Amino acid sequence: MTAKSLNSLKGVLVVVSLFLLSSCQKAEKAPAPKDALIMGFSQIGAESAWRIRNTQSVQEAAEQAGIQLIFANAEQKQENQIKAIRSFIAYQVDVIAFVPIVVSGWDNVLQEARKAGIPVLVTDRKIESDESLYAGFIGTDSEKEGREAALFLLDKFAGRKAGDMIRIAEFSGTVGSSVADGRAKGFRDSIEKEPGFEIFYSESGDFMRSKGYELMRTLLENRPRIDALFSHNDSMTLGAMDAMREAGLRPGKDIAIITIDAQQKAIDALNAGEVNCVIECNPNQGPLIMDIAKQLVAGGQAPRFIHVDEAVFREGDDISILPPRGY
């Protein structure tokens, strides 16, 4: 055997062992069977701890269900989501699921999926398109979350003196998203009919901690009286709390705080008396999404709207038995 042929044999061996290594690693992860159903999933991005848990839930549930997942992260851009969905169609996946960053602008791409005969599940956030363009929705009931926030405030300030005005600042989520619209609507529907409550400030913090911090810092510059903060998610709340502390204010005491998501840090803040009410928004939607996807691919139908279970945690509640949140 010449030195040259020995070298090329070595090369082959390296390639073969790399191949074996990679197939062993895959085997440990229990790869989906060859005829596994393929799902294309378009996620918004990773703007919050909630979103990161939502992604994990989808990935874990797909693996458990033996579904092969083609996962695309849109980095907060609708155009990236549309591109991803188009590539799923070109790839001829069995089913598509996506989290629509905003409510509008989906009709064309959904028509393309329909033409290709691929069922589509809308998850987490809702869309405004004609309902015949998608198979069903699985996600949160954001109007209910907004109503719960209002009910807590009505109760907390029930003892206010006649003529007193409770001044509320609202930090809302991504403009044009169904969850920001729903939370704002549910909140207003319940609070606006009550005298003595005023939403004196409402701005979008895009569901991001850094923006929650910026909004609160700017808001506090003129030292307005703020009785309560209604924040559409925990990430913005945590940022706002940092700004309150920097301004010498005690979160949960000088300003009442109502927040949505129920990530571990918000529950810890509730325990510490720094947050007054936490409304759970359930990110663990993966198992339901996989179940419904399987039904659809088998030729069945999906329920039109499935809202996942959610709880409300208030100051004074015994939440010591609550298991760790995992996000």
Least distance in angstroms from the C-beta of 145 to ligand GYE: 8
Q: Rounded to whole angstroms, how far apart are CA atoms 309 and 193?
A: 27
Q: Find the binder of ligand GYE among 48, 190, 237, 259 (CB under 6 A).
A: 48
Q: Verify binding: residue 260, ligand GYE, rule CB under 6 A.
A: yes
Q: Does residue 185 contact residue 146 with C-beta atoms inside 8 Å?
A: yes
Nearest distance from residue 261's CB to ligand GYE, in Å?
5
Residue 51 Cβ vs ligand GYE, minimum distance, rounded to whole Å: 4
Looking at the Cβ atoms of 96 and 179, the one nearer to ligand GYE is 179
* Phi/psi at 196 (5° precision): 95, 5
Which of 123, 231, 233, 285 binds ligand GYE (CB under 6 A)? It is 233
| Closer CB to ligand GYE, 208 or 244, in the complex | 208
Long-range interactions of 241-246: CB distance < 8 A, separation 24+: 241/269, 241/274, 241/275, 242/213, 242/216, 243/212, 243/213, 243/214, 243/216, 243/217, 244/216, 244/220, 246/217
Q: Which is nearer to ligand GYE, 71 or 157 (CB)?
A: 71
Identified binder of ligand GYE from the candidate list 125, 147, 156, 265, rule CB under 6 A: 125
Using the contact rule CB under 6 A, the part of the chain among 13-21, 43-51, 89-97, 115-123 near ligand GYE is: 43-51
101 is written with which tokens? 């960053």
- Which one of 58, 179, 215, 293 is in contact with ligand GYE (CB under 6 A)? 179
| Calpha distance 313→152 (Å, rounded) | 10
What secondary structure does DSSP assign to 45-80, as a single string?
Answer: ---SHHHHHHHHHHHHHHHHHTPEEEEEE-TT-HHH
> Which amino acid is present at 62?
A
- Residue 183 DSSP one-character state: H
The closest of 181, 193, 173, 175 to 142, measured between CA atoms, is 181
Q: Does 172 bind ligand GYE (CB under 6 A)?
A: no
Write each residue from 86 to 115 as x if it is in contact with ligand GYE (CB under 6 A), else as -, in one continuous string: ------------------------------
Other C-beta atoms closer than 10 Å to the C-beta of 238 total: 22
Establish if 148 lies at the interface with ligand GYE (CB under 6 A).
no
Under rule CB under 6 A, how many of the chain's residues touch ligand GYE? 14
Interacting residues with ligand GYE (CB under 6 A): 47-48, 50-51, 124-125, 140, 179, 207, 233, 235, 260-261, 281
